[in-house]
Amino acid sequence: MSEQPIGKHAALKDYDLPGNDLDPNITTPEQRKKIPLVAKVYGLLCLIDGIVTLPMAAIFIGMLVWALNSRPDLITVGSDPTLTTILSVMSFIVAVVTAGALIFFGVSILRNHRRNAARWSHALLALNLVQFLFDIMLQGIGEHLIAPFIQLVILLALSVTVDPSLRQERRLQRQLRDLVDREAAEAGMLGRDLEGRGYIQLNFFNIFWVFVVCSVLGLIIEVIWHMVVVDPGVYQDRAGMLFGPFSPIYGIGAVLMTVALNRFYRSNPVLIFVVSAVIGGLFEAFVSWFMQAAFGAVAWDYTGTTLFGFPDPVAALFGGRTSTPFMCMWGVLGFVWIKLCLPHLLKVINMIPWKMRYSLTTICAVLMMVNAVMTLQSLDCWFERVSGISPSSPVEEFYAKNFDNSYMEHRFQSMTITPEDSGRVDASKMAEAVAQPSV
């Protein structure tokens, strides 16, 4: 396989597309057309909405700060926020960002800046969709969703019609991308770094499928390891996501290794080993800390590990979250990964037909994102139920009904939720509450 970049692509990068932004003063005939009056009225309403919302949000934040200063005891309420509280804060932040976007969108409409208006409409589409989902999770399905739904429909129509030249430009860009993929496939360089600086092309397509494939392979390896070494003959579900055979810690680890080692694949093996060991060890320590701080879950603990009869300094430094033997294992895995596994994995990824690779990847990425969000929410609700906190919103009631404690214990067999070990609750106060006799 050729290691040299494909010469044709240097010229393709400079390909001049109609309607580009190299000169902001150049406009197409479509952009010179006046935006319809009805769209300008809508833009004015959006501008007013944004201008009114921002001061109200500032006043709300000021009142909240004043209340917390007046009643310091209220701060303890937020030491262990529930999922409802977290979603409410996130919804408020999205609402503030949306208000700012509405102002820019309204100004673009009123000034007849079609291209800017189209771009802001796309941003508002995403923000309103997120806000729509927050409303469902916090308030359920009801009449309060009618106005946001109408807003989504209007923004969708404007995003398609307000600047036809931008739509045409993106269509040409997709055609150019397909042309590049076709030429790279014919040259045997599909998925490779065409400029020759690294091995694999670090685009979303390659990175996503590296994550997916390694999440599945990592789960298989961990299940086999448990059945053969840890508890011979006993099967344990080691999945790390709510749906599917995925262990995301291995997928994320593979992505980190790929990004970090991509330009080192020709380097000295010792350098590859050291970089892999450091990245793998730090990543393992971070995941261990996060799981314990967020959910009180201790999935591994290397405290007490010794080297030739002496305490392991790495295990002692990181509080048992990683160790020297496992850092060395990460170093070996990184070397094997970049030298042997990645080239073969790239061949597997490129078995996806290039004509459908982007559409299929987009659909799978959305499903994986939903899976990840629901996994975190289900774990948080499980933590709250174990902590004695009753569901207080439709989304928490949904998880309590469909993913109760017994389901979560069966799904995440290697995980135990212990609130007193987490950083979210005061263990001493919990112990006092448990010790008090019930009245």
Of the candidates 149, 276, 129, 262, the residue with the CA atom closest to the CA atom of residue 201: 262
What are the boundaries of each domain within the chain?
A: 29-167, 203-425
Burial class (CB in 10 A: 0-12, 13-18, 19+), 418: middle
**C-alpha distances out from residue 188 to 11, 210, 213, 347, Å:** 19, 19, 22, 10
Alpha helices (H) in 71-203, listed in sequence order:
83-110, 114-139, 146-161, 164-186
State the pLDDT at residue 189.
75
Tokens standing for 116? 């800017």
Cβ-proximal residues to 144 (8 Å cutoff; 6+ apart), any chain: 135
Rounded to a whole number of angstroms, the distance between the first and last alpha carbons of the chain is: 77
How many Cα atoms are found within 13 Å in the side-chain-facing hemisphere of 384?
A: 25
Per-residue pLDDT of the chain (439 residues; tens, 9 = 90+): 445 545 444 444 444 444 444 434 444 555 556 788 888 899 999 999 999 999 999 998 988 888 777 766 655 544 567 788 888 888 999 999 999 999 999 999 999 888 888 889 999 999 999 998 888 888 887 888 898 899 889 888 888 888 777 667 777 877 777 777 777 777 677 777 777 777 888 888 889 999 999 999 888 988 898 888 878 888 888 888 999 999 898 898 889 889 888 888 788 889 889 998 998 889 889 988 887 777 777 767 888 888 887 888 888 888 888 888 888 988 988 888 888 888 888 888 888 877 787 889 989 999 999 999 999 889 888 888 888 888 888 989 999 999 999 999 889 887 777 777 666 655 444 444 445 544 3
Alpha helices (H) in 296-318, listed in sequence order:
313-317
- Distance of alpha carbon 317 from the chain centroid: 30
Of the candidates 384, 318, 415, 370, the residue with the CA atom closest to the CA atom of residue 130: 370
Cβ-proximal residues to 137 (8 Å cutoff; 6+ apart), any chain: 87, 393, 394, 395
Which residues are bridge partners to 310 per DSSP?
A: 307
Q: Is the Cα dihedral 25, 29, 30, 34 positive or negative?
A: positive
Confirm if 143 and 136 have CB atoms less than 8 A apart. Answer: no
Of the candidates 439, 1, 59, 358, the residue with the CA atom closest to the CA atom of residue 184: 1
Q: What is the CA radius of gyration of the chain?
A: 27
How many of the other CB atoms lie within 10 Å of CB of 347? 11
What pTM did the predictor assign? 0.72
Confirm if 46 and 97 have CB atoms less than 8 A apart. Answer: no
